[in-house]
Structure 1
């Protein structure tokens, strides 16, 4: 449902690109992933088109850090949400940590 808040705990993982760049993500699956998929479908039906790469805008909170970002669909992993370096530093997060996250979309 649009505007609802969801909470889950999921591991922080790293993706390394071909240029040796590292990106960090959380995987959103299960019931929250299904809610994201439903929101993306409703957005496409209401607007007649989807957002770039099928993304869904959301508000996210990890600990004391809150920001706006997008979740992106992944064939292999449900939905993925990037976690920027400033948040990882502020919250003391490293690859493999179990992260409790609050999402609103």
Structure 2
């Protein structure tokens, strides 16, 4: 990971949609604001729905995914797929330490 990195802790929450349920952690508001500002300078590499591509590290596991602006107050969400949760032994209610690196 060689880009701008951020670290935070959060408890895994559930987002219940009409057809599925998602597990996620939310980035702190100040961190989200900074990432949003930076993403404006990298618009040519932005993904759909305002997503930002990131490298993620949790408990020694690393993978690439995207964070999404998912909340009315501007915070980004990092969704955690089932295979990642299973590998890490985590579930809704688990507190995790996350390091993410922005990929432009």
Class of the TM-score when normalised by the shorter of the 2 chains? 0.7 to 0.9
5+ residue gaps in structure 2?
Answer: none
TM-score by length of 1: 0.83
TM-score by length of 2: 0.84
Name the SS of the counterpart of 1:76 in structure 2.
coil
How much is the aligned-residue C-alpha RMSD, in angstroms? 1.9
1:12 and 1:26 map into 2 onto residues whose CA distance is 5
The one of 39, 57, 63 equivalent to 1:67 is 63
Report the number of matched residues: 100
Moved over 3 A (4+): none
Residues 50, 61 of structure 1: alpha-carbon distance in 2 compared, 3 angstrom cutoff: closer
**Are 1:80 and 2:50 counterparts?**
no
5+ residue gaps in structure 1?
Answer: none
